[in-house]
Structure 1
Amino acid sequence: MLSVTFRRSALAVVAAAGLVGTVAVPSAAQAATAKKPKTVNLQLLAINDLHGNLEPPAGSSGTIREIDPATGQPVSTPAGGIEYLATALRQARVPADDSITVAAGDLVGASPLTSALFHDEPTVEALDKLGLDVSSVGNHEFDEGSAELLRLQNGGCHPTDGCYEEGRRFAGANFNYLSANVTSEKTGKPVLAPYWVTKSQGVKVGFIGVTLEGTPNIVTAEGVKGLKFAGEVATINKYAAELKAKGVNSIVALIHEGGLPASSTYNYDCGAAGQGVSGPIVDIAKQIDPAVGAIVTGHTHNAYACTIPDPQGVPRSVTSAASFGRLYTEINLKLDKTSGAIVRPSVKAENHIVRRTVEKAPDMTELISRYSKLAAPIANRPLGYIASDINGRGNSDPEKPLGDVIADAQQAGLAPADKGGAQVAFMNPGGIRSDLVYRASGAEGDGVVTYGEAFTVQPFTNMMQVKTLTGTQLVQLLQQQVSGSNEASPKILQPSKGLNYTLDMRNKGADRVVVDSIRLNGAPIDPAATYRVAANEFLAGGGDGFPAFAAGTDKLVGASDLDVFAAYLGANSSAAAPLKAPAQDRIKVIAAGTTTG
């Protein structure tokens, strides 16, 4: 049995509708005559998927869609940046003893250079300064393996890079990382604490943290080596029972798995319970023990503050604050001092934009300045030039201009026979972490692409691979974008130029790929022929639900994806002839609602 530790007295929890635990939901008549319980107020402030974005994210990654009250139309509002997030959270907090700040994972990993160059120590330091108390572990916390995750929690200088500043030793996170469903293959025990318990005005409050069960499918094999990932529902229910046995009846789940909102605007009306959000979190939430009073989620980078019915049919609060520090969720609730449970009808959850109109937090400005100076010699090195913004994220188009550029860079870099002889390359959309923005945020000048900006786009520095696939396997690869584990939420690969085909979204599963439309350099794919295909090591290993890649043969390992991207920018752009955004004409999409006439 794990001991319950109390890190501080007084703090908050979350939920919506009915009393939690095994208490029966009262009838209307009983509720009217029942004696009102004595309660205490509690506030939760929640974030997720920060990904080390200390400075305001660029391009579409740094905006939030909201409805303009003046026009009633959706608009994009600049948002995010740790200087503004810290101010927003500090202003939002009710009396400190009644507020808990929580997170649902991916606080680090896939981070811009200012954080990633120092193995995300700056982000951990910033999160401590802004008052984070507890977080679940996300899949990206495993990017560098469990030993590095433990170092971020416990402190110590990096084992190979050492300490970054003379006289400074990394202290580790003061907040609590939780990973209830991630266990060591050797010991069978969680690699980090499964839950954390505190008190709010004498009422015990427990937080259980889990990451998505499918983490091994979206992280390199080396990152999850020696680990097992159990199911989210079974794990949360197991530890909820353990907490109840210890007298902890107010429970919140922090889950690094999420859903898909019904609207792209952050503050849309969720409508009836469970109808405002879809995706994996819905099935998970419907099976979690009713004793869990609220669920804070992440992973999908979406915004929602909805309710989903628990196993007894009672609505329960389920929230997500988008990503990159652009939103935070405020959850206010009451705790019953007698039963120790969350009074679920009291729960009010709302997302708030981290607007860049508030004052910057001086301590965060100082932190960013300190690390930016250390990173400057590397970050400010120019690599190439662009003629306009080249978008890699945002909007619903399956083909992104920056995705095409990256795929072109990979194919060009690995086309020589001694580099692998790549005939075509594919880039996974999740690996494109930002846009390339024309207007300079620093001193380099408009249109100049620096190493730091390129790193923000491609922060994983995965090694490139070239494999041989048969024509049949190449077709299967394209079909796996919209079938199997990707059928419900397609992952459309970004292709290099020369590869063209049609997606007919009126069909189901693999049939969405119109096989007869597939052309490579104008020629149809020959099922019996072989093709040399380039991709980063994560994708080439079958990641993101592409087993056809893993079946490839004759593997040749090349340079890193970032080095290939940097070389392409240098060879294909100049101040006089900057790189232009390519036309999005490689994938023709027939929308699901299209009719033939």
Structure 2
Amino acid sequence: MNKGIVSSTKKTLTAILAASLLSIPMFSSPIHATKPKENIKVQLLGLNDLHGQLDTVTKLKLNGQDVLAGSMEYTAAAMRQRESQNPNTLLVHAGDMIGGSPLISALFQDEPTVEVMESMGFDVGGLGNHEFDEGIAELRRMIKGGEHPKGTPDYDGMNFPIVAANAFDTATGKLITKPYVIKEVGDAEIGFIGVVTQETPNMIVRKGNETLKITDEVEAINKYAKKLKDDGVEAIVVLAHNPAIQYGKTDLYDATDIAERVDDEVDVIFSAHNHVKVNKVVDNKLIVQAYSYGSAFSDVDLELDPKTGEIVSKQAEIVTVYQKDYTPDPAVSSIMKKYIDLIAPIKAEVVGESASELVKGYPSAAAQLGDVALGNLIADGMKKAMDADFALMNGGGVRADLPAGTVTFGDLFAIQPFGNVLNKVTLTGADLETVLNNQITDRGLDFHISGFKYTFTYDGTAKTGQVVDVFLPDGSKIDKTKDYNVVVNNYMYGNLKYGIGTLGKNLEVGPEDLTATVDYVRTLPKPFDYKVEGRIEKVAAPVAIQ
């Protein structure tokens, strides 16, 4: 090989390469490169368990000082303030927005609450157990619109969708509402699936809900999460009217358990039902809950990948609505004033006077004396109204405290807002003991009572909680073979878990429960002084004889 030719060729190639490099423009970044799109930032503002408490103010402690929180004109102002910070904001709710309401909403069939929610601009909501308080037909009317004798003129329903993927009407074999909805926000799509706790049929009146069927929440969520994914929706939020707590679990239908079992494409679960603060991550699913009655709301901040549509970041804050921090929203204030003016004379009617504040609460399974003064008063009124031997009142039906001093119709309405009617039945002494045992769960006792006393054992589980003895007012034990007249409300009568409707005979329907309480309070001294009396007493478990 001729080395001179090789050397000359290398020089020629080197010269050509150098010339070529000099002819290429120099840039700091590749030709035609584009800046990557930023993540889409979405804000979800959520309420749960409002219960029509439009004008309810919650007293709280802040830095040792008494402060006021809630009342919807302030809650609306707080949520609008947050909404103004992000154009990609959706307002959502997780059920029980109506039902168990005070006069401002209940006297008009809860339509004022819907009016407030529409003014605030809600985008999607779920169902809670209290949406079924007056039956499936009335729920459909509330959603779709239509006249009601107690309602407002030309009521046209809700202008935002309601979703529930596990609530069926067996009369039609179909879901009562849509199972999910897709919302477009900021060039992204988010799927919202709704579910309601499987406990619902045991927590509502039977009348009007005879054909209600609630299926497994996880199965329903997974079914429609798959459909959403098949349609290309990768961001999925669940509106679950299921309880949760910050640490651990509450029961079989806890949102924490749901988070552990549902499709991993689910990113956020708005929980509800037990009226507490929750902000935690379980199996990479964010779970939030914001107390109740509009005293707080959930602010969930999401970031979505603009290419895939997946949620790549999520965090939340539970925002307490301290009234001192906000100016009332004028639109909501106007709506509320309209109804406040209408109910004012009814609400202000004086019916009695209480020497002390009577606080609501379930009978205590922990304290030696388990009865509750306010529950005693209500049960006594039921017994008197129906001239019965005994009365039972479910703890969940007592919705508010009774302030000390003047007692008004509005005070008593807030305590018993459901419009339940009294039902008197005949039960044997043995049947009554069975019913009392049926009320004991792993969460404690349920019934306030009148006309008798009983002792029980309890160590925190339903299997070991048990009635020991039932005593008549004279101190003698109840005759298990004798018939007694027992008054309950129609919710309790139809509750299959209690067994009252199954065991009871000779049903007699009486007045509304509220009427019984109002009439009874009118007969009491001014002031009256109800206290814990030891009607329900915890005792040590009997020692088995070997």
Bigger mean CA offset, 250-259 vs 501-510: 501-510
Q: C-alpha offsets along residues 112-148 of structure 1, whole Å, 9 cap, x if unaligned?
A: 0111111111100001112221110111112222232
CA contact (8 A) 1:503 1:588 kept: yes
Task: Find the aligned partners of 1:77 and 1:302 in 2 and give their Cα distance.
Answer: 18
Match in the other structure for 1:202: 187
Match in the other structure for 1:468: 426
Match in the other structure for 1:328: 297
Match in the other structure for 1:560: 512
CA contact (8 A) 2:54 2:72 kept: yes
Task: Find the aligned partners of 2:174 and 2:207 in 1 and give their Cα distance.
Answer: 20
CA contact (8 A) 1:102 1:135 kept: yes
Question: Which residue, 569, 572, 580 being the options, matches 2:529?
Answer: 580
Match in the other structure for 2:444: 490
Match in the other structure for 1:29: none
Bigger-Rg structure (1/2):
2
Question: Which residue, 102, 114, 125 being the options, matches 2:104?
Answer: 114
> 3-state SS of the aligned residue for 1:403?
helix
Matches within 5 A, 1:420-459: 422-438=388-404, 447-459=405-417
Task: Find the aligned partners of 2:98 and 2:39 in 1 and give their Cα distance.
Answer: 36
CA contact (8 A) 1:480 1:510 kept: no
Matches within 5 A, 1:47-62: 47-57=47-57, 62=58
CA contact (8 A) 2:362 2:447 kept: no
Does 2:166 correspond to 1:181?
yes
Matches within 5 A, 1:33-182: 38-57=38-57, 62-63=58-59, 78-158=68-148, 160-161=149-150, 163-164=152-153, 169-182=154-167
CA contact (8 A) 1:184 1:190 kept: yes
Match in the other structure for 1:317: 286
How far is the alpha carbon of 1:37 from its aligned partner?
8.8
Give ranges in structure 1 of 5+ residues lacking alignment: 1-35, 262-269, 310-314, 416-421, 439-446, 593-597
Change over 3 Å in CA distance of 1:189–1:541 after alignment to 2: closer
Question: Which residue, 348, 353, 360 being the options, matches 2:315?
Answer: 348
How far is the alpha carbon of 1:56 from its aligned partner?
2.0
Higher relative contact order (CA 8 A, sep 6+): 1
Match in the other structure for 1:406: 378
How far is the alpha carbon of 1:77 from its aligned partner?
5.0
Q: C-alpha offsets along residues 481-528 of structure 1, whole Å, 9 cap, x if unaligned?
A: 22xxxx3323421112x4223343337435423413655541212222
Match in the other structure for 1:17: none
Match in the other structure for 2:346: 378
Question: Which residue, 460, 485, 504 being the options, matches 2:457?
Answer: 504
Change over 3 Å in CA distance of 1:130–1:509 after alignment to 2: same
Task: Find the aligned partners of 1:503 and 1:37 in 2 and give their Cα distance.
Answer: 65
Does 2:249 correspond to 1:283?
no
Count of aligned pairs: 500
Change over 3 Å in CA distance of 1:584–1:365 after alignment to 2: farther
Change over 3 Å in CA distance of 1:409–1:278 after alignment to 2: same
TM-score between the two structures when normalised by the length of structure 2 = 0.85
User: Percent identity at matched positions?
Assistant: 35
Bigger mean CA offset, 532-541 vs 179-188: 179-188
Does 2:306 correspond to 1:337?
yes
Q: C-alpha offsets along residues 432-470 of structure 1, whole Å, 9 cap, x if unaligned?
A: 0111123xxxxxxxx222222211111112110111112
CA contact (8 A) 1:475 1:515 kept: no
Match in the other structure for 2:208: 223
How far is the alpha carbon of 1:393 from its aligned partner?
3.8
Change over 3 Å in CA distance of 1:162–1:328 after alignment to 2: closer
Q: C-alpha offsets along residues 12-44 of structure 1, whole Å, 9 cap, x if unaligned?
A: xxxxxxxxxxxxxxxxxxxxxxxx995211111
Q: C-alpha offsets along residues 331-383 of structure 1, whole Å, 9 cap, x if unaligned?
A: 1121122221112xx22122121212122222222211111222234322222
Task: Find the aligned partners of 1:37 and 1:404 in 2 and give their Cα distance.
Answer: 64
Match in the other structure for 1:534: 487
CA contact (8 A) 1:156 1:172 kept: yes
How far is the alpha carbon of 1:394 from its aligned partner?
8.7
- Counterpart residue type for residue 424 of structure 1: F
Bigger mean CA offset, 85-94 vs 427-436: 85-94
Match in the other structure for 1:478: 436
Question: Which residue, 205, 218, 222 being the options, matches 1:237?
Answer: 222
Task: Find the aligned partners of 1:243 and 1:212 in 2 and give their Cα distance.
Answer: 22
Match in the other structure for 2:280: 306
Bigger mean CA offset, 371-380 vs 134-143: 371-380
How far is the alpha carbon of 1:162 from its aligned partner?
6.1
Task: Find the aligned partners of 1:523 and 1:429 in 2 and give their Cα distance.
Answer: 27
